[in-house]
């Protein structure tokens, strides 16, 4: 199993440069901890400072190395030519493989801000992904709905193939990932029992479409402490306050050994990647948790 990180992108800070520095520092800590991959998310019309995926990842890649890196793009909210151009440029900056994470998105407020609606998101997602794939392959692309595109090519092209991860939990979303993606990405709000069940559903849909999944990833919101008591003292109050509306069972909190045991449970289900995100906002606590992920990763690999 591989252990990667998806950085928090929203920071309630007075100095907006501080939030960007936090992301740079967390990237350097993840690199030094030997984590296997680096990701940033995608959201729009956010009331607190939110560092947008393409530019911030370009900066963070200066702290990273040849391990995989990538960004989430909520495809219905983007013009596909822009997505393809951003991905190609980022993949040229990256020293290693680039991963395009994508999903249909949610939240009327961000769809309205970008002139569309959630009613159209499934069809826009599929058409956008088709266009992006063709552009990344160097094809000349024409399209008429919902975007009018005539004879478009892009450059530079990715120096190596871009892997497509598709997220989503609904039956149609899992089928979409099985049909169109290279990897299914399970979300952070799933309990272990739901994660196990949905991975089985994903495999069944892959079989139905005659595809063999190469990997399956799961996002886990995590805090690693010096021991269980330390982890609970820091992250416990955050979970008790109703952290993101999640069932606490979906989060992983503890010392390195219990966290590694939780990750091994997902490996036993068949997940190949755990992508962590810090539960706590405090920068010192977040960096300490990332540092301890080096031991978590060692224990997972040694099992």
Residue 44 lies in a domain: yes
Residue 47 lies in a domain: yes
Q: How far apart are CA 140 and CA 81, in angstroms?
A: 11
Q: What is the mean pLDDT of residues 97-113?
A: 95
pTM of the entire predicted model: 0.96
Q: Which residue has the tokens 């010192």?
A: 284
CA atoms within 13 A on the CB side of 262: 28
Nearest one of 182, 221, 173 to 201, comparing CA atoms: 173
Q: What is the mean pLDDT of residues 66-71?
A: 98
CA atoms within 13 A on the CB side of 113: 12
Q: pLDDT at position 71, please?
A: 98
Q: What is the mean pLDDT of residues 198-205?
A: 97
Residue 250 lies in a domain: no
Q: pLDDT at position 14, please?
A: 94
Q: How far apart are CA 129 and CA 116, in angstroms?
A: 17
Q: Which residue has the tokens 């900056």?
A: 93
Q: Which domain holds residue 184?
A: 2-216+271-279
Residue 224 lies in a domain: no
Q: What is the mean pLDDT of residues 253-259?
A: 98
Burial tier of 94 (Cβ tally within 10 Å: 0-12, 13-18, 19+): buried
Percent share of the chain, pLDDT over 70: 100
Structural domains of the chain, count: 1
CATH number of 100's domain: 3.20.20.30
Q: Which two tokens stand for residue 50?
A: 């939110």
Whether pLDDT at 40 is above 90: yes
Residue 10 lies in a domain: yes
Residue 240 lies in a domain: no
Q: How far apart are CA 141 and CA 79, in angstroms?
A: 13
Mean pLDDT of the chain: 96
Whether pLDDT at 303 is above 80: no
Q: Note the pLDDT tens digit of each residue in 208-231.
A: 999 988 899 999 999 999 999 999
């Amino acid at each position: 199993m591989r252990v990667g990180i998806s950085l928090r992108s929203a920071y309630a800070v007075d100095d907006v440069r501080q939030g960007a520095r936090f992301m740079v520092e967390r990237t350097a800590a993840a690199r030094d901890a030997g984590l296997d991959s680096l990701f940033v998310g995608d959201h729009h019309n956010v009331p607190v400072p939110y560092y947008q995926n393409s530019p911030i990842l370009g900066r963070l890649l200066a702290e990273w190395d040849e391990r995989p890196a990538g960004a989430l793009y909520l495809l219905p909210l983007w013009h596909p030519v822009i997505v393809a151009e951003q991905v190609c440029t980022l993949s040229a900056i990256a020293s290693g493989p680039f991963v395009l994470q994508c999903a249909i998105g949610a939240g009327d407020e961000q769809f309205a801000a970008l002139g569309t609606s959630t009613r159209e998101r499934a069809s826009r997602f599929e058409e956008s992904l088709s266009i992006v794939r063709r552009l990344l392959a160097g094809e000349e692309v024409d399209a008429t709905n919902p975007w009018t595109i005539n004879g478009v090519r892009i450059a530079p092209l990715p120096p190596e193939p871009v892997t497509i991860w598709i997220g989503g939990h609904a039956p149609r979303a899992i089928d979409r990932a099985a049909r169109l993606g290279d990897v299914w990405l399970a979300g952070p709000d799933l309990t272990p029992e739901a994660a196990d069940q949905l991975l089985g559903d994903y495999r069944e849909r892959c079989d139905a479409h005659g595809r063999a999944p190469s990997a399956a990833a799961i996002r886990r919101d995590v805090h690693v402490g010096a021991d269980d008591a330390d982890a609970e003292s820091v992250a416990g109050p955050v979970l008790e306050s109703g952290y993101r509306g999640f069932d606490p069972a979906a989060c992983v909190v503890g010392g390195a050994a219990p966290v590694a045991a939780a990750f091994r449970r997902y490996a036993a289900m068949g997940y190949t990647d755990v992508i962590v995100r810090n539960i706590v906002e405090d920068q010192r606590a977040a960096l300490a948790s990332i540092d301890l992920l080096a031991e978590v990763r060692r224990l997972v690999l040694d099992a």
